[in-house]
A and B are shown apart, each in its own frame.
Chain A
Amino acid sequence: EAEVAQSPRYKITEKSQAVAFWCDPISGHATLYWYRQILGQGPELLVQFQDESVVDDSQLPKDRFSAERLKGVDSTLKIQPAELGDSAMYLCASSQGRGRDEAFFGQGTRLTVV
């Protein structure tokens, strides 16, 4: 069964260091999302791509976060420098991109900043 792949599953980093997460969406899915989920809360969108273009990054803290999807397939989310408050689960999801279609989620990357 096709699934969204994310790596690493877990990451511990010191504050002020750089950290990167990788996501490979389901093949053929045009839309890719990065969400952040703080323990006990629902996922909150960081950035949404349609193919290689960013369509919504209004909630992305651009002073420290960046995201790219250069070839419109896999994607990387980077944080530099990491802060203690960035500790969370980072979830990647993809959908076919026709609108009104379900998003499939990866297992996420659990980030702990110490």
Chain B
Amino acid sequence: GESVGLHLPTLSVQEGDNSIINCAYSNSASDYFIWYKQESGKGPQFIIDIRSNMDKRQGQRVTVLLNKTVKHLSLQIAATQPGDSAVYFCAENQGYSTLTFGKGTMLLVSP
């Protein structure tokens, strides 16, 4: 759902489950996308990126999927751990333009 002020969309999972976090981006001309993880009181931390000429990219325990037709990005985290608890943001840009952030999703992982 939409976030309003302090009310971020929240995904609650159990440790060991797979997590999927979704993001709808706005600019159909965007050609580069990044997922960031932000822990409380810290700056965003790079997780994984993908360019528009790809539809899937895998990292360690994470996979990003890009669907340009519907302007949708997702982050899959395998075997989610308590340390994965954070707010996750997708960001987009086009060429040399500014990196624009979407609304975040809070991931809560229970032991």
Contact = CB atoms under 8 A, between A and B. Distances in A.
Contact of B43 (A39, A41, A56, A91): A91
A30 to B, nearest CB: 11
Interface stretch (A11-19, A67-75, A79-87, A104-112): A104-112
A100 B92 CA distance: 9
B100 A105 contact: no
B102 A42 contact: yes
Contact of A105 (B8, B31, B44): B44
Given A100-B51, A102-B49, A107-B43, A43 B95 contact: no
Contacts of B102: 42
Q: A interface, by DSSP: helix, strand, loop or mixed?
A: loop
Contacts of A35: 101
Contacts, number: 61
B1 interface: no
18 contacts: A40-B6, A40-B7, A40-B104, A41-B3, A42-B89, A42-B91, A42-B103, A42-B104, A43-B89, A91-B43, A93-B99, A99-B96, A100-B31, A102-B34, A103-B46, A105-B43, A107-B42, A108-B43
Interface of A: 4, 33, 35, 39-45, 48, 56, 91, 93, 99-100, 102-108, 110
